[in-house]
Structure 1
Amino acid sequence: MNREMRLQLITQLISKYEVSTQDELQKLLLEKGLKVTQATISRDIHALQLIKVPTKDGGFKYSFKVDQEYIISEKLKHKLRDALVNMEAINYFVVIKTLPGHAHSFGALFDSMDLEGKAGTICGNDTCLIICRSPEEAIHIQQQIDLLNH
């Protein structure tokens, strides 16, 4: 079996089962007639950009990065709806005013997102500041957030 077919099989297994370790994945592959080394599995996990996400029972399982980005996006949508007061782009910054006590959770969500042009965040009690690499990128990031808020 070539590499692409193996990656496709791993994708199917990760989608179908809650796989929490490389050893579990190795056993599932063996059940499908494919004997691979732990080093190969490790490279394949890296190639597929698999990450570990929490399960409902408190453990962890392999998942796709896209899934995680979707989860973060959904959390941010709810946060924007529930706690956003105001937002504006000012030069190199996006200033986000929140209800008291919510700015840090906004910052954590923005930090976990791959927003192009974002250099970092600074948060207080009711203000989250996204520091951008240019004024144009600040406007673009604000527009991306606005899309999530509608």
Structure 2
Amino acid sequence: MRKADRHLMIRQIVTEQTVRTQEELLQLLEKQGVTATQATISRDIRDMKIVKIPDETGQTKFVLFQGQHVSDNEKAEEQRLVQMIEEVVTKIDRVQFMTLIHTIPDNAPLLAAAIDDVSMPEKVCSLAGFDTVAVISRTEEDAEAFFNFIETHAVL
């Protein structure tokens, strides 16, 4: 199956059903005759900008990122980052030249990808775990500026 067709099916599944895990998404795809690996689904989720948000019961579920469409790609990526910060960040810490961003469970890799997509001189790289992103800066001043950017947009 072509990637574009698989993305269309994933979009339909995530929009019409409650999907909480990648394994669940894989099973739903298999029911429709699509065979894919977990790694492929993980890439698809990132490519399609699918995020996890809490539902009315407090459990997380996959949703399509609802960022605004902006003609300038860089502004669109920054807007996407800002919206993700608003939706998934739960706590922020700074230790010297590192900013630690805590997220709702299973959203750190998605946030790190959004951070990496935005060109910012204050960051060198990001590392993501399950619910924490570590952003490394060259200097403490850069780390403070990056921390302030995240703090400005986080709904804590």
* Shorter-normalised TM range: 0.5 to 0.7
> Percent identity of the aligned residues?
21
The separation in 2 between residues aligned to 1:103 and 1:111, in whole angstroms, is: 12
Matching residue of 1:102: 107
Q: How many residues align?
A: 87
- C-alpha separation in 2, matches of 1:146 and 1:73: 15
State the partner residue of 1:142.
Answer: 147
* Structure 2 residue identity aligned to 1:126: D
User: 3-state DSSP class of the match of 1:129?
Assistant: strand
SS in 1 for 2:124: strand
2:90 corresponds in structure 1 to 85
Aligned counterpart for 1:131 among listed residues 119, 132, 136: 136
Length-normalised TM-score, structure 1: 0.53
1:89-112: per-residue Cα shift (whole Å, max 9, x none)?
A: 211100000011000011101111
* Residues in 1 aligned to 2:100 and 2:115: alpha-carbon distance in whole angstroms: 12
C-alpha separation between the residues in 2 aligned to 1:128 and 1:98?
A: 8
The one-letter code matched in structure 1 to 2:120 is L
Q: Tell me the residue number matched to 1:69.
A: 74
- When normalised by structure 2's length, the TM-score is 0.51
Instruction: Establish whether residue 113 from structure 1 lines up as the match of residue 113 from structure 2.
Output: no
CA RMSD of aligned residues (A): 2.2
What 5-or-longer segments of structure 2 have no aligned partner?
1-70
Structure 1 stretches of at least 4 aligned residues deviating more than 6 Å after TM superposition: none
Output the CA distance in 2 between the equivalents of 1:107 and 1:148.
15
Distance in 1 of aligned mates of 2:95 and 2:101: 11
User: 1:126, 1:143 → 2: CA distance?
Assistant: 20
Residues 27-67 of structure 1: CA deviation (Å, up to 9, x unaligned): xxxxxxxxxxxxxxxxxxxxxxxxxxxxxxxxxxxxxxx81
Name which one, 1 or 2, has greater alpha-carbon Rg.
1
Structure 1 unaligned residues grouped into runs of 5+ = 1-65
> How far did residue 77 of structure 1 move?
2.0
Residue of structure 2 equivalent to 1:122? 127
SS state at 2:72 partner: helix
